[in-house]
Every structure is written in C-alpha cells, then in structure tokens.
Copies of this chain bind each other. A is one copy, B any other.
Amino acid sequence: MGESLPRKDLFEIPDGVIYLDGNSLGVLPKGAASRATRVIEQEWGQQLIRAWNSAGWMDLPMVVGNQIAALIGAPEGSVATGDTLSIKVYQALDAALKMRPDRRVILSDNGNFPSDLYMAQGLIGTKNDGYKLRTPAPERVVAAITDEVAVVMLTHVDYRSGRMHDMAAITKAAHDAGAVVIWDLAHSAGAVDLDIGGSKAEFAVGCSYKYLNGGPGAPAFIYARPDVVQGIDPALSGWLGHDAPFAMELEYRPAMSTERLRVGTPPILQLAVLQEALSVWEGVDMGDLRAASMRLCDLFIAEVEAHCPALTLASPRDATQRGSQVSFAYEHGYAAMQALIERGVIGDFRAPDIMRFGFTPLYIDEEDVVKAVRVLQDVIDTEAWQDPRYQTRSRVT
C-alpha cells in the first residue's frame, strides 16, 4: 500500500462504522463543514452579490474542474463542473450525435446505469428523427460497433458488478468504425487510475459524490477532448456557456473553451464543499491508490468465500477487470444488507439480489475488511436477516 494511504485522519468516520459504500456516497472530509460555513457567513452573508467576483464564485466550475482533471488524466481546462450527471450525459450525447449527422445508432450496454439509458431515450424522443438506442450485453459491445453507430456511450465500471470495460480497446474499436465515444466515469473517478486524455475518447462525464466525496448531490463533471470543443453545438445552451454572458446578447454564441459546456448559475455551496473535498487527494499517487484498492477487494473476496459460502461472487474475479467495488449475489441480500448496516457495516443493495461493497483506500484498510466479513458471517450464520424489520423496502434501497 502506498505510504500515503489510508488517510483516515482527513475524514469524519462515525464511531463503530466500517463504511463500504463510498461507491454510492463518499464520507465527509473534515474541512467540508467549516468551508460551507465560511461560504455562507462570510461570502454570501457579508460580500453578497459582490462575491461572484470577490470570492471567485464565477470561476469555481472550472477551478474545481481542474482538480478533477488531475485525477482522471485530463489536461487543464478540459473539465467543467455543474448540473447532475444525467444532464451531462445529455450534453455529451447531443453533441456526439451532431458530430455524426448521417448515423442514427446510439450504442450502449444493458449493464449501464439506467439514467444514462433514460437520457438517451429522452434525447431520441426530442430529436424524433429515427435515432435508435442499442443495449447489447457488455461483453458484446465491441461486436456491435458497426458503421451505423454514431456514438458509443458506456459506463466504464458497472454500477452493480464492478466489471470494468477496457477503455483503450473499446475507444479504438469505436474510432476505427467512425463513432464518437463517451465514457461515464461515475464509478471510476477517484476509484481507478484513468488516462482519459490518452484514451482519445471525445467525451467523459461523471459525478463527484461517490469516490470524490463531494457530498449529497455534489455537481457532476464533463470532459471534452480539447480538439473537439470548438465543434460542439450545445443543446443546453445556457447563458454561462456563452462567450460573453454579461453582454446579454439575444443570440447564443458559445464560449471558445470547455466553458461552453456550462449551462446555468452554478451551485456555489456544493461546489465549494466539493473543492474542499478534493483537497484530500493532494499527493495521492493514483497508481498507489489502484494497487491498494485491488488488494482490499481481493482480500474481501477471499474472506467472504472462506466464511460465507452462501454468497456467490457477482464481480469479475480478476482484479484488473474490476473497479473498486465487489458484489455478491445472495437470495436474502436485501434483508441481509439491512442487518449488516444495523451492525455498523455499511454497504448497499441493488435489485434483484446484489449486495454491493465499495472499497476506498483513502479511508478503508485491511483490518476493516477482515472485521466487516466477520460481521457478515455472523449475519448469515445466525440468520439475523430473518428479522421482520429488515424485510420492508425503503424508498431508497
């Protein structure tokens, strides 16, 4: 494990909790609350409207974008933050389709996060011009890249299984067939070592509340390859993507930089907290992080298979084919996860039967992994999941 990991002292982790759900909502970085207070009381409260200049609010989407760029292998200035991941998917997809006006197929896979597919369906409805979404199984994507395909839009690391697509190979296959490529890095950014620039993909999008610890509803990000930026014709052409927002012109004229992918007034409070959260990455080597993540995941698999034979691995066994999470299928998975959570080991559940565990080397170590499996074993051996309290599904599962 890299000398700089873990960095538990930079986070607020509740007593008695082993948190294996950083792939859903990252834990609280210690500086976040005081930063929010400062933004609210000193910037908003005292500087008021002047803070757009004096506190640097207007530039925050690109400043924070640069922090994320450094973690995903993207050049400075190529990442804009704001909105939600679904909105950023729509932006990238719309731009990609306009780059291939004579093609009508969006290729994704049936393991993609549903919202990405929903946004594609919505865009197809709005364009109403014969576009189609194809969703083969993940392992059949490459074979499905034909010359009808305008854009290949995939989530790099599968939200359920943690299975990781081969970014370089798929991007190359898509480009060879003349398609544009969009990578959704929701489960990759801050979880694996990435070289989005080197991949040559035209677009990448992602969220910042998982491995980047930006907090609930933290802003999304969008990367565009620098040489395609000036060809992008934005659908979501909000004023802050305009070349001169405060000139109040009646005609949209996109900014010449990645700022053209900005839309409306940025969520300053969330951006400031995210900026603070990203400071925990200073000095982290992403290769070290990836090595630590693989070790933690491998250890978890070995321990679960040794102590909990009722569970079936639902992630690739080969660490190089996985992100930073491990899933197990278990028939009583929903109730077992509730029992586990009540005992301080927090993972989550995804329908139909997936118990999902995320491993974030910034604040999880090998001792946590071993302890977590002891609790899991106890839940299963004692059939603790049978408790009626664990059977009722919450609104958010």
Contact = CB atoms under 8 A, between A and B. Distances in A.
Interface of A: 12, 14, 17, 19, 21, 24-25, 27-28, 32-33, 36-37, 39-41, 43-46, 48-53, 57-59, 82-87, 90, 94, 98, 110, 113-115, 117-119, 121-123, 125-129, 135, 207, 209, 215-220, 233-239, 242, 246-252, 263-271, 273, 341, 346, 348, 350-351, 394-397
Contact of A28 (B40, B218, B219, B266): B40
A53 B395 contact: yes
Contacts of A84: 82-83, 238, 263-265
B12 A41 contact: yes
A266 B209 CA distance: 11
Given A49-B21, A118-B252, A216 B269 contact: yes
A266 B128 CA distance: 28
Given A36-B36, A114-B248, 4 more contacts: A17-B48, A25-B49, A50-B346, A53-B395
A80 to B, nearest CB: 13
Contacts of A119: 236-238
A324 B321 CA distance: 59
Contact of A127 (B127, B252, B265): B127
Contacts of A49: 21, 24-25, 346, 348
Given A114-B239, A267-B267, A40 B33 contact: yes
Contacts of A123: 126, 235
19 contacts: A12-B45, A21-B48, A25-B48, A36-B40, A48-B346, A53-B396, A87-B264, A90-B235, A98-B125, A114-B248, A117-B250, A118-B242, A119-B237, A121-B237, A128-B129, A217-B266, A217-B270, A218-B267, A267-B270
Contacts of A50: 341, 346
A57 B396 CA distance: 10
A250 B215 contact: no
Identical subunits present: 2
B263 A86 contact: yes
Contacts of A346: 48-50
Point out which of A24, A86, A128, A350 has the most chain B C-beta atoms below 10 A from its C-beta.
A86
A68 B45 CA distance: 22
A118 B239 contact: yes
A214 to B, nearest CB: 10
A124 to B, nearest CB: 10
Nearest to A90: B236
Given A236-B122, A264-B85, A44 B341 contact: no
A36 B98 CA distance: 41
Nearest to A17: B48
Point out which of A57, A59, A235 has the most chain B C-beta atoms below 10 A from its C-beta.
A235
Given A50-B346, A85-B265, A269-B215, A135 B250 contact: yes
Closest 8 CB pairs of A and B: A84-B264, A122-B237, A86-B238, A115-B239, A216-B268, A217-B267, A86-B264, A118-B252
A225 to B, nearest CB: 21
A19 B40 contact: no
A68 to B, nearest CB: 17
A123 B218 CA distance: 26
A296 B113 CA distance: 52
Given A269-B270, A270-B270, A44 B216 contact: yes
Contacts of A395: 52-53, 58-59, 246
B248 A351 contact: yes
Contact of A351 (B36, B115, B122, B246): B246
